Amino acid sequence: MEWVEIDGSYGEGGGQILRTAVALSVITGKAVRITRIRANRPNPGLRPQHLHGILALKELSNARVKGAQVGSTELEFIPGEAKPRHIRVPIKTAGSITLVLQALLPAMAFVGGNFEITGGTDVPWSPPVDYLKHVTLFALEKMGLKVELEIKRRGHYPKGGGLVVGSVEPWGERRSLKALKWNRVERFAGISHATNLPSHVAERQAKAAKERLKELYNVPVEIETEVSRSLGPGSGIVVWAETDKLRLGGDALGKRGKPAEVVGKEAADELLSQLRTGMAADKFLGDQLIPFLAFAGGEIGVVEITNHLVTNVWVVEKFLGKVFEVEGEVGGPGVVRVMRRVEV
């Protein structure tokens, strides 16, 4: 059995190292040992949201795992044979559903299957589910990967209770993605939601975002509003720019005492700042696409080369050897090129 050794404190040093490493372990069949997990964080070791991603991949690949408990700073993951399964992930808190999917999707791409995850759909420090659905999956579909995703119920901090279901078709034709700079913005779209709150919250968020986007771009803006019930209150908005290349996104979450207008304007301003460099992929999408690009090939222009992106490249290359060339400095715009497409 071939082992890959990963230092969990490298670079950005967070949960993303775990998600990418364990997904690649399933894809390649190589066992992985991760040490010093989140060593430089205030509360080192595995947190519940990381654990759920690891356990989902354990189920997908019938793996043997050592050290899979909260607080553990070392993990051994020995994959078995991955098969299409119905993966259920019951996060009892508002732990992020999208971060679990960041671990699951690359591995599921190679076998297919479906998933049902409860937890947080719109929570701090993680991509909102609408961003994943409308920005990330849009880019993956251009690479030939088909993922269906349905938001059955929203879940906000602290109670969670969100429910997301979906399915992944085995990745047949892997199409290389070439998206360096966009030439034109065709339209803006978005979803503004309010859960266990009055409908005017969603409407005011949407109106503020729309007005802000209209100030700078003379293109159609269509922001849907959604009002729903769940375990606890919460609101948020995701907006995206449809360009001739990919979609770029911006988002904001509501919180008690924060006017809905401020939430809407914040999301629009984040999107406008992503559009300024003219690069095709926003700073969040850039690092999310790294594991997929290794197998599809291509080159993308990113608004910002983040620590997350650089760390993700490092993890991928621990498993697959030299794959990428990253042009540009951390904190600024750049280009990520696949030098050698990996066959599995």
Residues of each annotated binding site for ATP: 102, 284-288
Residues with Cβ within 8 Å of 86's Cβ and at least 6 positions away in sequence, in order, are 113, 114, 115, 116
User: What are the angstrom distances between the C-alpha of 248 and each of 241, 277, 300, 336?
Assistant: 5, 12, 13, 17
Annotated binding site: 102, 284-288
Q: Are the C-beta atoms of 213 and 205 separated by less than 8 Å?
A: no
Number of neighbouring beta carbons within 10 Å of residue 257: 6
Three-point CA angle 93, 95, 100, nearest 5°: 135
Q: By C-alpha distance, which of 7, 69, 16 is closest to 37? A: 7
**Catalytic residue numbers, as ranges:** 308
Counting Cβ atoms within 10 Å, is residue 193 exposed (0-12), middle (13-18) or buried (19+)?
buried
Instruction: State the DSSP code for 149.
Output: E
* Alpha-helix runs per DSSP H in 35-194: 48-61, 97-108, 129-131, 137-142
Spatial distance between the Cα atoms of 28 and 37, rounded to a whole number of angstroms: 22
Query: Residue 210 carries which DSSP code?
Result: H
Residue 321: CB atoms within 10 Å: 9
